Each structure stands twice: as structure tokens, then as C-alpha cells.
Amino acid sequence: MPPRSTPTERQKRLGAELRKMRLAADATTEYAAGLLGLDRTKVSNIESGVRAISTDRLRTLACNYACRDKAYVDALVDMVGTRKRGWWEVYRGQIPAGLLDIAELEWHSKSVRVGLAMIMPGLLQTDSYARTLFGAALPPLSPAEVELRVALRLQRQQVLYREEPITYIGYVHEAALRIEFGGVKVMRAQLDRLCEVSERDNIGVRVIPFNAGAFPGAGQAVVYAEGPVPQLDTVELDSAHGPEFTHGQSQLDKYRAHLDWMEAASLPPSASRDFIHTIARQL
């Protein structure tokens, strides 16, 4: 299989898991190369996500690395994937790759929990609210670039409504509910959307009121995506230069605790809806 010039985050993650599996088995790249009939460079490229691997070769590695976790191996096989392109690929070359990696991460997750202090959860945003956010980017985006990002964000929301939707829980600080992005009309429609979608069985919106006091993370936006098996959980962190992805066990533990704190500090679902309705009426 020819090498890739720019592997996706999912492809890089598969390679990282294969490397982790090899190191756990105390096996060398020379050993792996011998199993696959490849040279060491190609094995290194597989582990960095630059080169693809077939499902047969992946199972050969797992077997010889003595990995007995069938669910984990099957999940890795699924990551090798089908040759069918994801819907987000139509945006490749037009939108930063990191934003497409977020769409792919959500699509393959079982559940997603997000913690936000300043803005609304991306999958629950209206088009007008999202347009306001992208319109405030620095350096400024052109109108065409703004519309591309809005279109991508709205298409990402299909994971909430497809035949087997993901479970999505947003912990939203009161500050995010009161900052009037786009003005009163846009904000009122956004608050109404939050209340509406939170009635769905697979979507939860939990409000953290001002009187909850201090909170961890200094307001950093956190997305915790649960994979098909716990070993494939991923955290995505927003930053001014693009999304950052992490999956080290200590990092996963830290951000799970972060979101668990937000869960404990937030109002129950029905009280959260009442709280949001109250703010909307005050606008």
C-alpha cells in the first residue's frame, strides 16, 4: 500500500495502538517486519499512520504479540476501515484537517461528553450562532470560509439523529448562556434550541450555575469521546491554533475527572431546562 502524505488523526491513532501493542509484547520493529515480510521502515510508517495496514496483517501482529483482548483487536480491525469515504471528505482541501478529524472522531464514537464555559456545544449550535463564532475568528475568515465551516458544523450534527445516534452530554456554564453572541435574537433562538434538543433521550444539557463557584480547567473546552472499547477513548481540546487530541491514560483519567466534577456541580436535566428558559425570557 502506498504511503500517505498526511494521515488523519484516526489513522495516526491506529498506528499508535499498534506500537503500544508491540511495546507491551516487548517486541522489536525487526520482529514485526519479519512477521509481515516488510522492512523496518515500513513497520515504522505503519506505526506512525503514514502507511496503511490490512486487516489480515493487523490480526497477524495481534496474534504474535499475544494480545488476547478480542474486543480491542476487533475495534482496531474496524479502524482499518472500509474504502468508503466518510461524508466529511468532501471538505478536505477546503477546511483545516483538524476540523475534519473532529467530525471523524464523533462519527466513530459511542458517546461524547463536552465541558464548556464560554460557548455552546458545537453539535447543539444553530447556524446563526455558529456563523457568529466563525465570524469572530482571528485572522478574519472570508465569508466563503465562514460558510464552509458552518456547513461542516451543521453536518456534524447528524450523529445525534442517525439510526444509531451517539449519546451526547453537554455541561454548559452559565457564562456561556449569558454571552450574547450574535445579539438577542440569535441568542434566544440558541437557548430555545438547547431546551428543545435536551428533551431527546440521547442528548443531555446540564447547566453549571455561577453559584457553583470555582471549576477545573480554567474554562478550557473539553471533548471526551468514548470509543468502542475503553482503550480507544480520546480527548479533544480546543485551542486558538486548532484542535489537539490526546489519549494517554493519565490524560484520559484527568479529563474524565474534570467532566465528572462538572456533572456533580451541574443542575439536573429538568432544572437545567428551566434555568435556560429563564435566561431566554430575560433577553
Contact 125, 76 (CB under 8 A): no
Identify the pLDDT of residue 240.
Answer: 79
Domain-embedded: residue 93 = yes
Buried b or exposed e, range 200-233, using 16+ CB within 10 angstroms: eeebbbbbbbeebeebbbeeebbbbbbbbbebbb
Domain-embedded: residue 75 = yes
Identify the pLDDT of residue 4.
Answer: 64
Domain-embedded: residue 2 = no
Identify the pLDDT of residue 214.
Answer: 87
Identify the pLDDT of residue 82.
Answer: 61
Domain-embedded: residue 4 = no
Residues 159 and 132 in one domain: yes
Tens digit of each residue's pLDDT, the chain (283 residues): 556 668 999 999 999 999 999 999 999 999 999 999 999 999 999 999 999 999 999 999 999 999 999 999 999 999 997 667 899 999 999 999 999 999 999 999 999 999 999 999 999 999 999 999 999 999 999 999 999 999 999 999 999 999 999 999 999 999 999 999 999 999 999 999 999 999 999 999 999 999 999 888 777 899 999 999 999 999 999 987 889 999 999 999 999 999 999 999 999 999 999 999 999 999 9
CATH code for the domain in which residue 125 is found: 3.30.870
Which residues on adjacent β-strands are paired with residue 204? 169
Residues 63 and 111 in one domain: no
Instruction: Identify residue 191 by its one-letter amino acid code.
Output: L
Identify the pLDDT of residue 242.
Answer: 84
Residues 108 and 71 in one domain: no
Domain-embedded: residue 1 = no
Residues 267 and 148 in one domain: yes
Domain-embedded: residue 19 = yes
Three-class DSSP category at 173: strand
Residues 22 and 96 in one domain: no
Domain-embedded: residue 145 = yes
Residues 105 and 76 in one domain: no
Domain finish residue from 26, 59, 80: 80
Identify the pLDDT of residue 216.
Answer: 82
Domain finish residue from 58, 80, 102: 80
Domain finish residue from 43, 60, 80: 80
Residues 100 and 122 in one domain: yes
Residues 20 and 111 in one domain: no
Residues 189 and 233 in one domain: yes
Number of structural domains in the chain? 2
CATH code for the domain in which residue 41 is found: 1.10.260.40
Cα gap 34→192, rounded to integer Å:
60
Q: What is the 3-state secondary structure (H, E, C) of 65-92?
A: CCCCCHHHHHHHHHHHCCCCCCHHHHHE
Residues 104 and 224 in one domain: yes
In order, the DSSP letters of 134-150 are: HHT-SSPPPHHHHHHHH
Domain-embedded: residue 185 = yes
Residues 70 and 134 in one domain: no
Which residues on adjacent β-strands are paired with residue 203? 168
What's the pTM?
A: 0.94
The whole domain housing 50 covers 9-80
Residue 234 phi, psi (nearest 5): -145, 140
Residues 39 and 72 in one domain: yes
Contact 247, 234 (CB under 8 A): yes
Identify the pLDDT of residue 85.
Answer: 85
